[in-house]
Amino acid sequence: MSQKKNVIVVGGGFGGINAVKSLSKNPDLDITLIDRRNHHLFQPLLYQVAMAALSPAEIAVPIRSIFSGYRNVDIVMGNVLGVNFDKKLVQTKFRDFQYDYLVLACGAMNCYFGNVGWEGFAPGLKSLEEAIEIRRRVLTAFEKADREEDPEKQKQLLTFVVVGGGPTGIELAGALGEISRYTLSRDFRHIDSRRTRIILIEAGERILPSFSPELSGKASRGLEKLGVTIWTKTKVTGIDQEGVTLKNERILAKTVLWAAGIGPADLNEKLSVELGSQNRIRVNSDLTIPGQSNVFVIGDQAYFVENGNALPGLAPVAIQQGKFVAKNIFADMKQKPRKPFKYLDKGIMATIGRADAIVQFAGMKLNGFIAWAIWLFVHIFYLIGFRNRMIIIFQWGWSYLTFRRGARIITIRGWKPLLKANARKKSVPSRKKTAAKKK
């Protein structure tokens, strides 16, 4: 009997989950999935948690429950600190893991283009913690505006700035328009939430540059109907607790949301490997790191060029790459040649608002209700867990008919940058206390 091979998969996103599911079909493999969190997150619907349409548990599922019936899959919650390629070890704080094959699927994180200090004033949208913090800030702004008597301060509280005109930015801006004009307008007696000012800032020529100019224009008009003002060719030069600074202008806004870019996983710069655009790891045609034939990199973490262009950080890319890696590992075990990865483009889509979306696929360009229906079907199809699908279908149906949102809960601050800031404040003793101790 041949000895079992150890496969370590780092990351429980779309790429990692699909890699493990495919690999688990081979009983000669022992698979360990390592992730810093205990849940798989359906990121395409994260903005709906941020905008109080869904609750966190409806788009997240425990990784252990996904693989509870898989005998050759072990789950480890922990943070990977590095990889020793020579000794074939994945290093964590509590122990090292030996591997025969390694699959890195760590995803990406928010990128502030060197302006690290902006993160505390403008949360991005890559995790449940960030989504909950955005929800807290948005709902708190309306609560404070309702009790504010100063018209100028009230205007600042009811001004929201979204930085970045990609799919995440337009989904956040569109959802803000809907919640202010339809959901909250009936709940506040001292303000007219329909007068909320929403500004979407994009540094490029137009929003949604990955879509055709025609669909980009239709998305712009859809957002404008929801009260969103779009500023293109505009670069943000500063963000603080009072608002946003542009080159020649200042916008006073208590709530600023960041959707302007993504950066590499922390692990990338700890590895001695060649990096491409956005510091993603350059990979060969079979998705391996050059010089490391048993180490694969997939999803947002990988810089893979096809037909002269790098594949985007989309869920379909990660899903296909996860399944592909398993096939090449199986080929290795059968001593068959590996195949190069080829991406099957399933199109791109984005939702603008209620019954309004855009879809671009195989030369087809759809918008409006039909595109929205396709968007609904695709997102329900890819959701993991029957329970999650049924709950979300019910929530969407209820929200569609009533314009209500059922997750409008304001929680205490628990977001990472804020916790760090509080910890720093507590660690520095006041001058008065220090003087008293000296006496």
Whether 433 shows a pLDDT value over 50: the answer reads no
Question: How is the chain split into domains, by residue range?
Answer: 5-36+78-110+263-333, 116-260
Whole-angstrom distance, CA of residue 36 vs CA of residue 102: 17
Backbone CA torsion sign across 159, 170, 394, 128:
negative
**Do the domains 116-260 and 5-36+78-110+263-333 match in fold?**
yes
- Bridging pattern class, strands 29-35 and 262-264: unpaired
Q: Which residue has the higher pLDDT, 387 or 437?
A: 387
The residues annotated with a catalytic role in the active site are 171
The pLDDT value recorded for residue 184 is 83
> Which distant-in-sequence residues (6+ apart) come within 8 Å of 363 by Cβ?
none
- For the residues 115-120, what does the mean pLDDT come to? 91
End-to-end CA distance of the chain: 76
> Which distant-in-sequence residues (6+ apart) come within 8 Å of 182 by Cβ?
354, 403
- For the residues 128-140, what does the mean pLDDT come to? 94
Whole-angstrom distance, CA of residue 85 vs CA of residue 307: 30
What's the token pair of residue 79? 């943070």
The fold adopted by the segment(s) 116-260 is FAD/NAD(P)-binding domain (3.50.50)
Coil, helix or strand for 17?
Answer: helix
Whether 426 shows a pLDDT value over 50: the answer reads no
Whole-angstrom distance, CA of residue 287 vs CA of residue 105: 11
Whether 53 shows a pLDDT value over 90: the answer reads no
> What's the whole-model pTM score?
0.87
Best CATH choice for the domain 5-36+78-110+263-333 from the list 1.20.1370.20, 3.40.50.2300, 3.40.50.2000, 3.50.50.60: 3.50.50.60
pLDDT tens-digit profile of 2-43?
A: 688 999 999 999 999 999 999 999 999 999 999 999 999 999
Do 334 and 326 touch, CB atoms closer than 8 A?
Answer: no
